[in-house]
Amino acid sequence: MFALTWSNTALDALADIYVAAEPDERARMAAALEALNVRLRADPLSVGESRTGSNRIALVSLLAVVFQVSESNLTVRVARVTRYGR
């Protein structure tokens, strides 16, 4: 099991996106993030696509989530979140 943390930058961006979203979009985002958090704790290297270094990106309902995985420390850190799709 991996320890999961979110950077303040990612949390702030998520809050801004959430506030600007319609109620039905908020529900979709909340469900997608809950499922993503579970997957990131269980097996983060099977989530999304790899990028440079230890960076990965996952596209979930309305969001693009950039995160880093440290296999040696068993940690995952969400670095950035942006609005993606409709």
Q: What is the pLDDT of residue 54?
A: 87
Q: What is the pLDDT of residue 53?
A: 87
Pairwise CA distance, residues 37 & 53, whole Å: 21
47-62: pLDDT as tens digits? 999 998 889 999 999 9
CATH number (domain holding residue 78)? 3.30.2310.20
Q: Is 61 exposed, middle or buried (0-12, 13-18, 19+ CB in 10 A)?
A: middle
Tell me the β-bridge partners of 45.
none
Joined tokens for residue 12 = 């702030």
Q: What is the pLDDT of residue 41?
A: 98
Domain of 66 in residue numbering reads as 3-83
Q: What is the mean pLDDT of the chain?
A: 96
Number of structural domains in the chain: 1
Tell me the β-bridge partners of 55.
68
Q: What is the pLDDT of residue 8?
A: 98
Confidence of residue 85 (pLDDT cuts 50, 70, 90): confident
49-50 and 75-83 as β-strands: parallel, antiparallel, unpaired? unpaired
pLDDT at 65 over 90: yes
Sheet holding 63-70, edge to edge: 3-6, 75-83, 63-70, 55-60, 49-50
Residues in the chain: 86
